[in-house]
Amino acid sequence: MGAGHGGALTARYLPGTSVVHRLEPHAKLVAVLAFAVVVVATPVHAPWAAAAYAGYLLAVLGTAAVAGVGPGRLARGLVVEVPFVAFAVLMPFVARGPRVEVLGLSLSESGLAAGGGLLAKATLSILAATVLAATTEPRALLRGLQRLRLPQLLVQILMFMVRYADVVGSELHRMRVARESRGFTGGGLRGLRVLAATAGALFVRSYERGERVHLAMLSRGYTGSLPTGPAAVVDARSWAVALGLPLAAATVLAAGMLLG
């Protein structure tokens, strides 16, 4: 059960003592959500949209610098953006409306604006979420979700996913080592059969482990909810610090709308 401390999920957390690290997790969750709402609310076709997105980016990068989250960690977080990038690249080719020539290609003006806006919004939101993940332990994030009154059952599912994802990953690694020690190379139809058998065995072992854990919980008095510690009090100053990022973004948005 303690495998998660050295696994991939926990490895994404960067220990530190910055002001961002010290904030309560539910306050950071509210801040990231509010920032994403402001980013999404920015009109793509507004003439000042590019300047607003640039301001948002500076705010996120400034927060990351304060928290000690380096460019490499931010870049790795952007890997999940690949589907958005593919969709944004296709939009100028498939969208209708007036066309414009770019490097010899006929592209839709509205598609360029929509694709650029989608890419900017996805990038900014993911960067903010990356800073959150890098400065908050997974279990602390779950406590934050509890404080925000997320359904208890959903929080418990996420809790066990965080706890046992690395355990299942370690089991898969041991199975891979066992296959390779027996001369498995992974080629051809035989390789597919072996991989299918491995996936089936991993599923059965994970299911059996879940059954054992559930029985152990019931024997210890589990009734559908897990005990929680005392709720930490977040003062006005901490809320002001936590909401600094979304408030800065909201200021940029408001200035753009007034001047635009």
Reference 165, options 202, 127, 211, 220; nearest CA is: 202
Residue 148 vs residue 190, higher pLDDT: 148
pLDDT at residue 97 greater than cutoff 80: no
> Looking at residue 6, what DSSP letter applies?
G
Phi-psi region of 97 (alpha: psi -120 to 50; beta: other; left: phi over 0): left
Distance CA 42, CA 52 (A): 8
Tokens 């996805």, residue located = 122
Which CA distances in Å does 190 have to 92, 173, 193, 194, 201? 44, 20, 5, 6, 17
178-226 tens-digit pLDDT: 887 877 776 666 677 777 888 888 888 888 888 888 898 889 888 777 6
Torsion sign (Cα): 165, 166, 167, 170: positive
pLDDT at residue 169 greater than cutoff 60: yes
| Per-residue pLDDT at 2 | 41
pLDDT at residue 5 greater than cutoff 70: no
Check if the beta carbon of residue 75 is closer than 8 Å to that of residue 156: no
Q: What is the mean pLDDT of the chain?
A: 84
| Per-residue pLDDT band at 228 (split at 50, 70, 90) | low
19-43 tens-digit pLDDT: 999 999 999 999 999 999 999 999 9
Q: Which of 164-168, 190-194, 253-257 has the lowest mean pLDDT?
A: 190-194
Distance CA 146, CA 252 (A): 31
pLDDT at residue 231 greater than cutoff 80: no
Q: Which of 17-31, 32-46, 94-108, 222-236 has the lowest mean pLDDT?
A: 222-236
Could you state, in order of their start, the residue ranges of all structural domains in the chain? 2-144+233-259
pLDDT at residue 236 greater than cutoff 60: yes
Reference 34, options 258, 237, 256, 253; nearest CA is: 253
Could you give the percent of the chain with pLDDT greater than 70?
90
Contacts of 59 (CB under 8 A, 6+ apart): 245, 248, 249, 252
| Per-residue pLDDT at 186 | 67
Which ranges of 95-243 would DSSP assign to H, the alpha helix? Answer: 109-135, 138-147, 152-181, 188-219, 236-242
Alpha-carbon torsion, ordered 150, 154, 157, 158, to 10 deg: -40
pLDDT at residue 227 greater than cutoff 70: no
Check if the beta carbon of residue 165 is closer than 8 Å to that of residue 7: yes
Q: Is the pTM of this model over 0.95?
A: no
Check if the beta carbon of residue 97 is closer than 8 Å to that of residue 109: yes
Phi-psi region of 103 (alpha: psi -120 to 50; beta: other; left: phi over 0): left
| Per-residue pLDDT at 247 | 92
